[in-house]
Amino acid sequence: MSSDNLDAILSLAKRRGFIFPSSSIYGGFSSVYDYGPLGAELKNNIKKEWWRRVVQTNEDIVGVDSAILMSPKVWEASGHLSAGFADPLVECKKCHERFRSDKSREEGGAMGEKECPKCKGELTESRKFNLMMKTFVGPVEDDSAAAYLRAETAQGIFMNYKNVLDTSRVKVPFGIAQIGKAFRNEITPGNFIFRTREFEQMELEYFVKPEKAEQVFEYWKKERMKWYLDMGLKEENLRFRDHEKTELAHYARSATDIEYKFPFGWKEIEGIHDRGDWDLSNHAKHSGEELKYRDPDTGEEYYPYVIETSAGADRSVLVFLADSLERVSGGRTMTTESSRDEEIVLNIAANLAPIKVAILPLVKNKLEITSKARNIFEALKNNFMARYDEQGSIGRRYRRQDEIGTPYCVTVDFDSLSDNTVTLRDRKTMTQERIASDDIPKYLLCKLY
């Protein structure tokens, strides 16, 4: 995938209302983004499909929604306030730009360099820079009021481990899942929404007997890769990368990344980690709360090991846009119009598409046709994310829907007035078929779900 593809993604995202720079009327805010109408739908669909696969279809997994603000003691116990959760930082003595010293020049870092990659000034020695975002709770801004925006959603899950055990009738093995915002003061964010300081995570913490950890780790590796493939990503753009012992996080016994081949190279989109009993044992030690699991059948007591899957919702948006965006020759609309030599088509999986069906009256100056099209739209909108569009020629409207990934278009024409049928067009196959307008809901339910 070339860098041209990233330019095409950026252009599409802004032009069609997927993603905008945050605070754009003030010139934007570095590496922070807002999701527009189509972007919000796409991101929500990704989260829904993740939740469906991880929580809804697994009777031993439940969900929580924990607070962004937690006691600072949580982050002390988890190790996030120590050097273990810090990036190596260098600063230019001339322009005062800061860089991660473990990143290559291509990512804005200064690995192996003795001069600033921007102004050629001298760099300082590397020092640790903690990634936690600090704030204050209450009227006085002093150390006693210090708090932190959560750096990961996982700790909120561990805080509710005992609550879930006591209230949900689960027993090991079981999982707790969560989708939510997290914040990291990244030194070198970049590559659009790939690395930002505010992001959304989709995380599962699965609690198992220690002797089962390796087996469950392998299961979730395969299961999470299968999800991306089932969501329509191309297999050749995905791979596993096992972590070396020297690069493991402070809590991890082993770790594997699922990587995607972005225009800027192979990068992580999800991590699968064996966290051992690091979290529960440390929180038990620091809080004084008994967090060992007592097996109701055998009476055995132990700290469960935790197998974690952690995916970024924002990175997933970028992945699905990158993988499904295609350039095709003009005229694919199957009309006489072919005004452009090249067209952009978002061949995204139908269940992820922001708009599921577009209702298009053939002409907008014939009341009988527009009224019938409106009636069809009204009948569909409660069950499907639908859009009514009468602006421009039918060929241009097809192209607009292709560009935003709409899988189906329903065209109401003059024949519709006499036989109550419509033309239903499939974006992926380009086939058009005539069906009764009353059959549209059944047709879409069969195709979409």
Q: Which domains does the chain have, with CATH numbers?
A: 3-72+146-321 (3.30.930.10), 336-448 (3.40.50.800)
Is residue 200 annotated as involved in ligand binding? yes
pLDDT of residue 374: 97
Query: How far, in Å, CA of 234 to CA of 241, rounded?
Result: 17
pLDDT of residue 182: 96
Does the pLDDT at position 319 exceed 80? Answer: yes
User: CA gyration radius for the chain?
Assistant: 25
Is residue 255 annotated as involved in ligand binding? no
pLDDT of residue 247: 87
Is residue 314 annotated as involved in ligand binding? yes
Instruction: Give the whole-number percent of the chain exceeding pLDDT 70.
Output: 92
Confidence band (pLDDT; 50, 70, 90) for 335?
very low
pTM to 2 decimals?
A: 0.89
Does the pLDDT at position 338 exceed 60? Answer: no
Is residue 195 annotated as involved in ligand binding? yes
pLDDT of residue 106: 40
Is residue 111 annotated as involved in ligand binding? no
Six token digits for residue 239? 């791979």
The label of the residue with tokens 């879409």 reads 444
Does the pLDDT at position 380 exceed 70? Answer: yes
Does the pLDDT at position 260 exceed 50? Answer: yes
Confidence band (pLDDT; 50, 70, 90) for 403?
very high
Is residue 16 annotated as involved in ligand binding? no
Confidence band (pLDDT; 50, 70, 90) for 84?
low
Query: How far, in Å, CA of 123 to CA of 98, rounded?
Result: 9
Q: Residue range 203-214: average pLDDT?
A: 97
Does the pLDDT at position 199 exceed 50? Answer: yes
Query: How far, in Å, CA of 163 to CA of 220, rounded?
Result: 24
Is residue 269 annotated as involved in ligand binding? yes
In the three-class reduction of DSSP (H, G, I as helix; E, B as strand; rest coil), residue 154 is classed as helix
Is residue 41 annotated as involved in ligand binding? no
Q: Which residue type occupies 177? A: A
Confidence band (pLDDT; 50, 70, 90) for 271?
very high
Transcribe 254-322 into DSSP letters.
EEEEEEEEETTEEEEEEEEEEEETHHHHHHHHHH-----EE-TTT--EEPPEEEEEEEEHHHHHHHHHH
8-state DSSP, 190 = B
Does the pLDDT at position 270 exceed 80? Answer: yes
Q: With CA atoms as reference, report the closest residue to 372 among 385, 362, 387, 386.
A: 362
Does the pLDDT at position 64 exceed 70? Answer: yes
96-130 tens-digit pLDDT: 676 767 654 344 444 456 788 878 888 887 776 77
Is residue 152 annotated as involved in ligand binding? yes
pLDDT of residue 96: 67
Is residue 340 annotated as involved in ligand binding? no
Is residue 7 annotated as involved in ligand binding? no
pLDDT of residue 331: 59
For the chain, the average pLDDT equals 90
Give how far Cα 299 sits from Cα of 293, 294, 295, 296, 370, Å: 9, 6, 5, 6, 70
Is residue 202 annotated as involved in ligand binding? yes
Q: Residue range 389-404: average pLDDT?
A: 95
Confidence band (pLDDT; 50, 70, 90) for 212?
very high
Is residue 203 annotated as involved in ligand binding? yes
Q: What per-residue string of b and e applies to 342-378 under the rule 16 or more CB within 10 Å gives b?
A: ebbbbbbbbbbbbbbbbbbbbeeeeeebbebbeebbe
Reply yes or no: is the peptide bond before residue 173 cis, omega within 30 of 0.
yes
Is residue 403 annotated as involved in ligand binding? no
363-376 tens-digit pLDDT: 999 999 999 999 99
Transcribe 351-409 into DSSP letters.
TT-S-SEEEEES-SS-HHHHHHHHHHHHHHTTTS-EEE--SS-HHHHHHHHHHHT--EE
Antiparallel, parallel or unpaired: β 357-361 and 408-412: parallel
Is residue 198 annotated as involved in ligand binding? yes
